[in-house]
Chains A and B, each alone.
Chain A
């Protein structure tokens, strides 16, 4: 069998997009073995801890994260009753970190999932749709990839007003492209597989063929990139919240904490910035470590079919 299908960029998109962590805070795992195993364990532990903090926030602190207290402003860490100190309005930083984990991690997971779903659907559609639709989707993806996406997300969030939904939408709208390119390449490669042809020959509808016979086969490589998308979403959410256009200001988030702490930097209260910044960095590194491990595992296991 020779030259079965005109070059539809099979595999190439996946090849360029895949192959390890992307962007800021991308980490390279040491080659498998001890160090790799330890990194994975540490990443799991860190994420489990953060998830627990987010879930159990109301039980882990006696303070209300948004209650101001003029008698206890700008206390340093270690003050009795305020383990991480307080901010300029006297709000307890530990409580704000715990409740902030809720916003940041929730947005990360939800926006990451939205990104993956959107990207998978658009990429799968591009692979099976008539050429004009395919061209529209791929051109849009290419154009978006060429833009500074944080600015695009900022524009969306600024126009739509800050809310949880807006942040998720802004992240998904600016992050779906790598997922779509992978989905398109994978589905495109599967299209000519004999079982797909057989399914069409049995009279199954296009939708059925796409959802039952094409997308499932494309999921393993998409799953590998999904975790990266979560890390990316956490970072974007922090950026937007830092700029004041993320989750609403009355809900603490790590990015919002950074924004609040800007003024305190100058008065020597570096910890007000360092603590949330460290949490953001740690969360993203942990997610990326797991994503890399997963990606490697998937690559090593190979396609089982």
Chain B
């Protein structure tokens, strides 16, 4: 990336994020209530919290993918690497579309379901690259490079495979390769490993962490598993009651949890997120 921001400046600064869901009869339910969070370049930040605490809605709101009836406000300033930071929550639809996929990548749970069953692996790459103006002649090579980066052999067989022909782990890697094919500055990964076995999970997370550190981008790892957070994240942010109740270096936070909720999570240990 050409221009590095001042040292210590966050890559993404989320400020006062409020996420509200319309409930029946015109009422709204506030799910996230003034969330502040900084993500730093070259770092993995884990967003942890119990089930239903709003992690997924937070992640989706950041890229304008909140479900219908869910509204987000606040600010999410992304340092795109060129020029002034852009506020993801204030972008026009068109500019947001240009940012998605290129500057911010997102991978969600159930990778297999995240790939269109009627579109081949290669088709996913070419249409994404086409949407961002990559010339036709370069698409195949770019896709193959992304697949190789996630540890897959970019053979013709894989390129022409349909998603259902992939294993869960392969599909997850394809989804990661797809989200990172344009080398985004920020990658949002929501529970991407909960469906994988321990070995594959470790491989996938090692790989994401390696990419993040090497490229100096930021990874937001959404998980309810404190073990995952402790092992792969540099920082941990604990979400409870719609706010970040605790935020700090992973090791320090786990060694001495300050907030009662974090203490309960750490104390509950193995069973933590369940």
Contact = CB atoms under 8 A, between A and B. Distances in A.
B7 interface: no
A138 to B, nearest CB: 16
Interface in B53-67: 60, 63, 65, 67
Interface in A190-236: 191-195, 197-205, 208, 212-213, 216-217
Contacts of B128: 202-204
Contacts of B131: 202-205, 208
A203 to B, nearest CB: 3
B115 A201 contact: no
Interface stretch (B71-79, B93-101, B152-160): B93-101
Contact of A194 (B102, B113, B179): B113
A6 B26 CA distance: 12
A200 B117 contact: no
Contacts of A194: 108-110, 113-114
Contacts of B119: 212-213
Interface in B87-144: 97-102, 105-106, 108-110, 113-119, 127-128, 131-132
A222 to B, nearest CB: 15
A217 B63 CA distance: 25
Contact of B108 (A191, A198, A203): A198
B22 interface: yes
Contacts of B22: 6
A304 interface: yes
B178 A202 contact: yes
Interface in B241-263: none
B83 interface: no
Interface residues of A, number: 25
Contacts of A200: 65, 100
Given A202-B101, A202-B178, A5 B117 contact: no
Nearest to A192: B67
A305 interface: yes
B180 to A, nearest CB: 11
A198 B69 contact: no
Contacts of A195: 113-117
Nearest to A200: B65
Contacts of A192: 67-68
Nearest to A4: B67
A198 B163 CA distance: 14
Contacts of A305: 117-118
A203 B132 contact: yes
B101 A203 contact: yes
Given A203-B102, A204-B128, A5 B69 contact: yes
A213 B114 CA distance: 11
B108 A197 contact: yes
A8 B67 CA distance: 13
B175 interface: yes
B173 to A, nearest CB: 14
Interface in A275-305: 304-305
30 contacts: A4-B67, A5-B67, A6-B24, A191-B68, A192-B67, A194-B109, A194-B110, A194-B114, A195-B115, A195-B116, A195-B117, A197-B114, A198-B108, A198-B114, A198-B175, A200-B65, A201-B63, A201-B65, A201-B105, A201-B108, A201-B179, A202-B100, A202-B131, A202-B179, A204-B127, A204-B131, A205-B131, A208-B131, A212-B116, A304-B117
